[in-house]
């Protein structure tokens, strides 16, 4: 996996591990919107470490012990380097754009340690450059937070926002004709459609989508303005009451309060929350144990098992002396183009190998989300008997494993 990063001229002894004759599996292009959504998701779910690290750099202490400074420099460089390479691997790649948020979990403890180490020494007086940087972080961070929460995250808030937008657009307003008040009333959306002549330029559905976007945009701007006023007015109020940990500058104070507000809101679910994968309400380990025991009771010891899935590999550990086709255990991430013997040598696979392994398998397991296509036709062709599916694991829907055992 890592040998390709070493220059071949300097490391000829690694040539046997270089992927000769192997090409990437063709994947559809990833739209910029998906990458942007993943970026905001990472920011939304990891607000405190990300903003905290930026605050630590902007409010970098002037005077502290040399040992603490060395630790802070080490944590800063490590966090920054790991953030960049994981963002490049996910947001800049094709194989797993939405892995960005999950990747941040790997090393975000470094960011939390940096905050704890530096916070009590943060400087109170900022230079003009640091002030401008703090202002940029607050403006950008707050805008991203409002936009992300209103458009992508928090189903409860999204439902409430949709209801509010609908109520506003359907609000009755007086009719106007030729600039004069006319008899009767009309819904606000009708007045706006006529006023801006949207129906003359767009179909009805497109015109309504434009109105919806306008209302959302205006709501986001107003909310952001209110939050900015609070962030920039509150530090002065606190300093007047001798709160010493607030920086003297308005931007620095707003940055500290922005981080503090995020820290307080995270435990109650307004930040740092996902409605499915990362906010699992069931016993994940017990679900794997249940699925594993179900599989073990129905798959004979020593069976050759073909598995098609994405998130259920752990349940396979419960089988009794199974024989797998190891390249497929990394699912689609191990798909490559090339000659079959070469692919197997490096631990990869392709459609030709998949067909061969299906014919050799005693048992075929298909994850619910992966069910369909040619494999579904093959297992229902009369060569297999279908057993009771294993229960779902974790909190991701569609992880139930369908079991097909080859007939004698």
Whether the predicted pLDDT of 201 surpasses 50:
yes
d(CA 369, CA 309): 8
Distance of CA 91 to the CA centre of its chain: 10
> Helix, strand, or coil here: 357?
helix
Q: How many CB atoms lie within 10 A of CB 105?
A: 13
How open is the CA angle 301-304-305, to the nearest 5 degrees?
100
Instruction: Classify strands 180-187 and 305-308 as parallel, antiparallel or unpaired.
Output: unpaired
pLDDT on residue 202: 73
d(CA 72, CA 20): 43
Mean pLDDT lowest among 5-19, 244-258, 377-391: 244-258
Give CB contacts under 8 A, 24+ apart, made by 68-71: 68/117, 68/121, 71/117
Whether the predicted pLDDT of 181 surpasses 80:
no
Residues sharing a CB contact under 8 Å with residue 80, sequence separation 6 or more, in sequence order: none
* Positive/negative CA dihedral, 334, 339, 345, 350: positive
Task: Fill in the DSSP letter of residue 337.
Answer: E
pLDDT on residue 148: 65
pLDDT one-digit tens code per residue, 98-143 = 899 899 999 999 999 999 999 989 998 889 999 999 989 998 888 8
Render the burial of 266-277: b for 16+ CB within 10 Å, e for the rest: beeebbbbbeee
Question: Are the CB atoms for 352 and 295 separated by under 8 Å?
Answer: no
Main-chain dihedrals φ then ψ at residue 175, nearest 5 degrees: -80, 150
Residues sharing a CB contact under 8 Å with residue 386, sequence separation 6 or more, in sequence order: 379, 380, 402, 403, 404
Whether the predicted pLDDT of 155 surpasses 50:
no
Whether the predicted pLDDT of 196 surpasses 60:
yes
pLDDT on residue 24: 86
Give CB contacts under 8 A, 24+ apart, made by 209-213: 211/169, 212/165, 212/169
pLDDT one-digit tens code per residue, 58-74 = 999 988 889 999 999 99
Whether the predicted pLDDT of 350 surpasses 90:
yes
Q: Cα-atom radius of gyration of the chain, to the nearest Å?
A: 28
pLDDT on residue 163: 62
Query: How far from 152 is each of 219, 235, 312, CA to CA, in Å?
Result: 15, 31, 27
Residue with tokens 């025991």: 293
Residue with tokens 């910029």: 32
pLDDT on residue 174: 79
Task: Fill in the DSSP letter of residue 361.
Answer: -
Task: Fill in the DSSP letter of residue 275.
Answer: S
Listed residue (183, 27, 56, 192) closest to 116, CA to CA: 56
Q: Which two three-digit tokens encode residue 252?
A: 């620095």
pTM: 0.71
Percent of the residues in the chain that have a pLDDT greater than 90, as a whole number? 46
């Amino acid at each position: 996996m890592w040998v390709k990063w070493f220059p071949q001229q300097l490391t000829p002894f690694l040539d046997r591990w270089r992927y000769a004759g192997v090409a990437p599996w063709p994947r559809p292009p990833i739209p910029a919107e998906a990458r942007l959504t993943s970026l905001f998701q990472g920011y939304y779910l990891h607000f405190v470490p990300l903003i905290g690290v930026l605050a630590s750099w902007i409010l970098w202490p002037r005077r502290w012990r040399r040992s603490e400074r060395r630790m802070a420099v080490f944590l800063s460089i490590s966090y920054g380097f790991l953030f960049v390479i994981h963002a490049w691997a996910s947001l800049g790649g094709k194989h797993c754009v939405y892995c960005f948020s999950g990747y941040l979990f790997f090393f975000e403890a470094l960011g939390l340690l940096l905050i704890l180490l530096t916070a009590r020494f943060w400087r109170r007086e900022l230079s003009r450059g640091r002030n401008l940087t703090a202002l940029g972080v607050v403006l950008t961070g707050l805008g991203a937070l409002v936009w992300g929460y209103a458009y992508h995250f928090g189903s409860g808030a999204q439902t409430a926002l949709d209801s509010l937008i609908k109520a506003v657009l359907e609000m009755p307003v007086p009719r106007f004709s030729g600039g004069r008040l006319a008899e009767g009333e009309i819904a606000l959306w009708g007045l706006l459609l006529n006023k801006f002549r949207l129906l003359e330029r767009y179909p009805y559905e497109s015109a309504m989508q434009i109105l919806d976007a306008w209302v959302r945009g205006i709501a986001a701007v107003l909310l952001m303005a209110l939050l900015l006023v609070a962030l920039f007015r509150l530090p002065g109020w606190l300093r007047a009451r001798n709160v010493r940990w607030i920086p003297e500058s308005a931007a620095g104070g707003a940055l500290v309060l922005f981080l503090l507000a995020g820290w307080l809101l995270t435990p109650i679910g307004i930040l740092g929350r996902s409605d499915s994968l990362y906010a699992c309400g069931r016993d994940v380990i017990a679900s794997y144990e249940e699925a594993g025991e179900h599989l073990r009771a129905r798959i004979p010891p020593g069976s050759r098992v073909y598995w098609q899935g994405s998130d259920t590999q752990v349940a396979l550990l419960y089988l009794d002396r199974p024989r797998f086709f190891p390249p497929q255990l990394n699912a689609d991430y191990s798909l490559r183009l090339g000659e079959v013997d070469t692919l197997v040598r490096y631990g990869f696979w392709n459609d030709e190998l998949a067909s061969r392994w299906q014919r050799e398998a005693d048992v075929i397991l298909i994850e619910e989300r992966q069910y369909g296509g040619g494999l579904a036709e093959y297992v229902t062709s009369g060569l297999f008997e279908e057993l009771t599916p294993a229960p779902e694991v974790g909190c991701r829907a569609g992880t139930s494993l369908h079991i097909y055992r080859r007939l004698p």
